[in-house]
Amino acid sequence: MSDPVSPSPCLPAAAAPAAISASPVLLALDTATERVHLALVAAEGGVRTRELPGGAQASAQLLPAMRALLDEASLRWADVQAIAFGSGPGAFTGLRTACSVTQGLALGLGCPVIVLDTLMAVAEDARQRAPQACPPGQTLWVLQDARMAELYAAAFTWDGRRWLVAEDAALWPLDEPLRRWGCEHAPAIRWCGNALQQCAQALAALPAAGRFPAGELAVPSGPALAALARQAWAEGRAVDAALALPRYVRDKVAQTTAERAAGRAADHPADRSASPAA
């Protein structure tokens, strides 16, 4: 049976709610970072993923890319049983994009949504890249660049089957990791996230032993989103589309000129030290 006719080849027509299934068809997206990550979990358990550029054109690419994933799996919009999305924390525009697309699709399809933690998805991607470094009981801190000389930070503990929240997401000043873990007697912890690259100079003094293997490459990837979405579905954590809300941990979205200059100096301390005194 072909898809019902809709105003756009990318937009789904309304459908009856899908029955609860142990092998669901799930679509997942995250637009909280500089890249867009998508995943399709097919009923047979297979996972298809896409990674797209972020920025101003991200919202225009989402629906065509999702439709392409469904076409590859010979599935229709009506087969989708839930939409999972990364709720943040992350870029304000990206979070609003993810929420609006998720709500629109879920309402059109008559299906629920699954609210995912973007920072947990980063932790899951790190674990998938180096599973041998993440035994049960391992706690992993996620440090994501939040711009404005700040970081999004959260900690998660792997119990062998799922991630448990050890420390809720918070907004940290850029030097907070050094205050916590830069001393000689700091606790033995591991961390990952894009701040290890984006804020490399500011975090260079952190003990090398704390860096999770390839942790600087960890992102809320399609495979990570798929794993978290599948777990959430199995645990019955799908909710009404009205609850597809962004997770903000910052109220202020812009800086003054002086604050931007201070942030650049924090990211590049060598430049600051080389500048003549005022």
Domains of the chain by residue range:
26-118+220-243, 119-217
Report pLDDT digits (tens) over 256-277: 455 456 555 555 554 434 433 3
CB of 85 within 8 A of CB of 113?
yes
CA of 41: how far to CAs of 129, 169, 217, 240, in Å? 19, 27, 23, 20
CB of 140 within 8 A of CB of 156?
yes
The CATH class of the 119-217 domain is alpha beta
The SS3 call for residue 171 is: strand
Copy the structure tokens of residue 194: 């894009």
Extended beta strands in the chain, E state: 26-30, 35-41, 47-53, 82-86, 113-116, 139-145, 150-158, 163-173, 190-192
- Which amino acid type is present at position 10? C
Q: Matching CATH topology for 26-118+220-243 and 119-217?
A: yes
Distance between first and last Cα of the chain: 73
pLDDT, position 23: 83
Domain 26-118+220-243 of CATH type 3.30.465.10: no
Predicted TM-score (pTM) of the model is: 0.84
H or E segment and range at residue 96 = helix 92-109
pLDDT, position 175: 95
pLDDT, position 58: 77
CA of 76: how far to CAs of 60, 107, 114, 150, in Å? 20, 16, 19, 42
Q: Which residues of the chain have pLDDT under 50?
A: 1-9, 13-19, 254-256, 259, 270-278
Question: What DSSP state is assigned to residue 33?
Answer: S
Report pLDDT digits (tens) over 164-204: 999 999 999 999 999 999 876 666 789 999 999 999 999 99
pLDDT, position 273: 40
